[in-house]
A and B are shown apart, each in its own frame.
Chain A
């Protein structure tokens, strides 16, 4: 694949795809909450731009709707919601200590290589999708998962979740020019509801555990000694 043989717009798609991947890496190692939210918004914006470009190149006008949807949801509503929550919960200046950040980033790089590997059988079928964009979309999804696994605050996990969804959306756009509109609307609806439910959970977590550090959540497990039941007193019948 000769990069120079592609049209200008197709080259632009690849550049923006690379930037989307870059934002994923930034999120992976960003310990502070507020910049994390901003980076997530940037990723959404880049995604919207790529979608609009693909719409332009491929003559699929319904992709403009997807791009607009992304813009409203991923750049506007969800980051705004998370930002508001971070202020309400007084954690906008909190930093999370990431254990072994360099290992984490190396692991992320490994995931990118792995994505290129699994993209091989897909690429030969596709007209528009270049190897780069498909692999990037898989990588963004897997990196989102890595964020959820490696990070300990609830906020970072939510952002990892949403970033995974970004990767999936990106995969649909570059491989099949987006899903049918009704499915895309349904997915967008689910994502919106999910972000609201996550917001509700932040308050529950803070009320019960006094922090949003989900590593406190380790009460339920399979142990041989009797389970600690903090609510045992409450369960007793009057």
Chain B
């Protein structure tokens, strides 16, 4: 379990160091190094869990199983690659005078603080601590959304803070109710019933159905706000579009996943006690609504980062829908889609960051001719968008195809809105993308110094996973599927 401690301590220590040194020239590198250490440790942890099965740390504080270990690795990986991108990007922002030294210190230390709270939320065994970590994820990122101190960024941050604060409070109430049901279950022992392992293994099925269904409604509203489910999504496009781009990349690629992770954990508990599909149906409804509504909203965007954040809502809706269906095939597809969306979306946000630095604005109608001005950025945006829209041979196609198949199997009628949503989202993305990539560049548009390495790595991974899913990864997903849906694939 040493690896888990390193995974958690690295961002914590790095964040503390960066709180004092974050404005130095070397701070960007320290940020990258912290990310690299975290990723290396999480990889070792993943291999360990893959070999030896689920691990419970001493004192039962942390619990790592097949489901969360892959999210820990994914979080650490995206955290690392985004920190590679953030170093030159933020230096450019400092040179343009948008950020001062003090705010750079804030930025760097909160970046690591955010990663720490994400990893804590994933690895903790205590559902209460999970809530605390989710709330501190909001607290660490809220001042980063308003990093530029423009009126609209402050408005976005305020909305983010208030909406997520209200939402997450409902989740705490749901957690209290679950705890209450577990403490009062007939014939069980008291104490420690907020621990996931205790709740799942010994109390499963014994919780009072009325209380548990009430709890799940509150949890869905609470964590659903963070997932960005319609109609609780208002904060998401604002926070993504107004904050610095590395922040948008990690918010979109990681925070939403972790919130969905929390929701799925609770769904596993609720399903065991309820003997009916309440949780699944609620998630399917909200998921499908988010999927379709966000697809429609894609058409109305004028800001490039807002557009891609609606694409995030759309994909989170799809995953929520798939976890709601709940069979092994849908769960497998949803897990795969989580990975694909994280990798692709963070790559897209990195590219979008460069694109808006080239054009000097985030307005779609002023970003033109990227391929001619700087081919690497133009192609990156094009390939990334092709990947996220679900074209073969990219991995998103595979996961979306699996989800479609699962839907056809269990809810044939729902494939119609699903296909409609895919089409609408595709059109929404490409009508904006076409002129941005291929149009005539405005006079005097110059290329900038851009490090496309993280984008290349992410997109190559998505392509690779689309062509062939390696055995260890599929074995991993199968373990997690078994854990979540209670049945093996095939």
Contact = CB atoms under 8 A, between A and B. Distances in A.
Contacts of A126: 180, 184
B132 interface: yes
Interface in B98-119: 98
A218 to B, nearest CB: 8
B176 A217 contact: no
B162 interface: yes
Contacts, number: 156
B300 to A, nearest CB: 6
A235 B131 CA distance: 37
B146 A204 contact: yes
B360 A235 contact: yes
Interface residues of A, number: 57
Q: Is the interface of A mostly helix, strand, loop or mixed?
A: helix
Contacts of B204: none
Contact of B126 (A182, A190, A232): A182
Given A205-B154, A237-B96, A125 B173 contact: no
Contacts of A236: 360-361
B157 A122 contact: no
A60 B478 CA distance: 44
Contact of A183 (B126, B161, B165): B126
B323 to A, nearest CB: 26
Given A125-B181, A176-B180, A219-B152, A164 B129 contact: no
Contact of B363 (A121, A217, A222, A226): A226
Interface string A111-143: 000000010011001110000000000100100
Q: Is the interface of B mostly helix, strand, loop or mixed?
A: helix
Given A204-B146, A208-B149, A179 B194 contact: yes
Interface string A174-196: 01100110110011011001100
A109 interface: no
A201 B154 contact: yes
A230 B361 CA distance: 12
B155 A219 contact: yes
Contact of B169 (A121, A141, A157, A209): A141
A121 B180 CA distance: 12
A231 B97 CA distance: 13
Nearest to B133: A186
Interface in A210-227: 214, 217-220, 222, 224, 226-227
Contacts of B150: 208, 230-231, 234
Contacts of B139: 190, 193-194, 197
A220 B242 CA distance: 10
Given A183-B194, A190-B139, A208 B126 contact: no
B29 interface: no
A125 B169 contact: no
